[in-house]
Amino acid sequence: MRIPLNKKSREPLYRQIHQFLRDEIRCKALPADFRLPSSRTLSAGLGVSRITVMNAYAELESEGLVHIQPGSGTYVAPPAAYHSLPAEDGLDVHDWPIWQQELLSRTWLPARREMERLLASTVHPDPISFAGDLVAENLFPADEFRKTINAVLRRDGQQAFGYGNRAGFAPLRETIAHILAGQGIPTSPDHVLITSGSQQALSLVAQVLVQAGGSVLVESPTYIGAIDLFRSLNVRLMGVPVDEEGMRIEAVEEALKRNKPRLIYTIPAFHNPTGVCMAADRRRRLINLASRYNVPILEDDCFGDLRYDGRALPALKALDPNGCVIYVNTFSKMLMPGLRVGYLVASGPLYDRLLSCKYTCDLATSNLIQRALEAYISVGRYQAHLRRACGAYRKRRDAMVAALDAHMPEGVRWRVPKGGLCLWLRLPDGVSAIDLLPEASEEGVVYAPGSFYFPAERPESFMRLNFAPHTPERTEEGIRRLARALERYLSRRKAEEEPQRLHMGVTV
If DSSP codes are grouped into helix, strand and coil, which group holds residue 432?
coil
Among 6-14, 31-39, 97-105, 424-432, which window interacts with a second copy (CB under 8 A)?
97-105
- CB closer to a second copy, 341 vs 401: 341
What is the C-alpha separation between 393 and 467, in angstroms, rounded?
Answer: 8
Give yes or no for residue 137 binding a second copy (CB under 8 A): yes
Tell me the HSE value of 119 on the side-chain side, using a 13 A CA sphere.
21
What is the C-alpha separation between 377 and 157, in angstroms, rounded?
Answer: 19
- Binding to a second copy (CB under 8 A) within 222-251 occurs at 225, 228-229, 232
Q: Please, are residues 420 and 271 in contact by the beta-carbon 8 Å criterion?
A: yes
Give yes or no for residue 104 binding a second copy (CB under 8 A): yes
Indicate the DSSP class of residue 157.
G
What is the C-alpha separation between 344 and 329, in angstroms, rounded?
Answer: 6
Cis? peptide before 221, omega within 30° of 0: yes
Among 23-31, 192-200, 269-277, 420-428, which window interacts with a second copy (CB under 8 A)?
192-200
Give yes or no for residue 362 binding a second copy (CB under 8 A): yes
Give yes or no for residue 31 binding a second copy (CB under 8 A): no
How many residues at the interface with a second copy, by CB under 8 A? 84
Intra-chain end-to-end CA distance of the chain, in Å: 32
What is the C-alpha separation between 12 and 25, in angstroms, rounded?
Answer: 20
Q: Residues 440, 442, 445, CA angle at the centre, nearest 5°?
A: 45
Give yes or no for residue 95 binding a second copy (CB under 8 A): yes
Give yes or no for residue 145 binding a second copy (CB under 8 A): yes
Smallest distance, a second copy to C-beta of residue 359, A: 6
What is the C-alpha separation between 272 and 208, in angstroms, rounded?
Answer: 24
Candidates 28, 45, 78, 161: give the one binding a second copy (CB under 8 A). Answer: 161
Among 122-130, 191-199, 214-222, 451-459, which window interacts with a second copy (CB under 8 A)?
191-199
Among 70-78, 133-141, 280-288, 403-411, which window interacts with a second copy (CB under 8 A)?
133-141
Among 101-109, 117-125, 433-441, 480-488, which window interacts with a second copy (CB under 8 A)?
101-109
- CB closer to a second copy, 228 vs 439: 228
Among 105-113, 266-274, 419-427, 498-506, which window interacts with a second copy (CB under 8 A)?
105-113
- Binding to a second copy (CB under 8 A) within 285-344 occurs at 291, 294-296, 322-324, 336-340
Compute CA distances 297 → 11, 14, 271, 285, whole Å: 34, 35, 15, 12
- CB closer to a second copy, 454 vs 489: 454
Instruction: Give the bridge partners for 258, in sequence order.
Output: none
- CB closer to a second copy, 9 vs 150: 150
Candidates 7, 8, 84, 89: give the one binding a second copy (CB under 8 A). Answer: 89
Among 1-9, 57-65, 102-110, 247-255, which window interacts with a second copy (CB under 8 A)?
102-110
- Beta strands 236-243 and 263-266: pairing type? unpaired
Give yes or no for residue 196 binding a second copy (CB under 8 A): yes
One-letter-per-residue 3-state SS of 180-214: HHHCCCCCCHHHEEEECHHHHHHHHHHHHHCCCCC
Smallest distance, a second copy to C-beta of residue 385, A: 12
Give yes or no for residue 209 binding a second copy (CB under 8 A): yes
Amino acid symbol at 313: L
Number of neighbouring beta carbons within 10 Å of residue 16: 20
What is the C-alpha separation between 194 and 175, in angstroms, rounded?
Answer: 12
- CB closer to a second copy, 212 vs 508: 212
Candidates 347, 474, 501, 502: give the one binding a second copy (CB under 8 A). Answer: 347
What is the C-alpha separation between 194 and 204, in angstroms, rounded?
Answer: 11
Smallest distance, a second copy to C-beta of residue 468, A: 12
Give yes or no for residue 261 binding a second copy (CB under 8 A): no
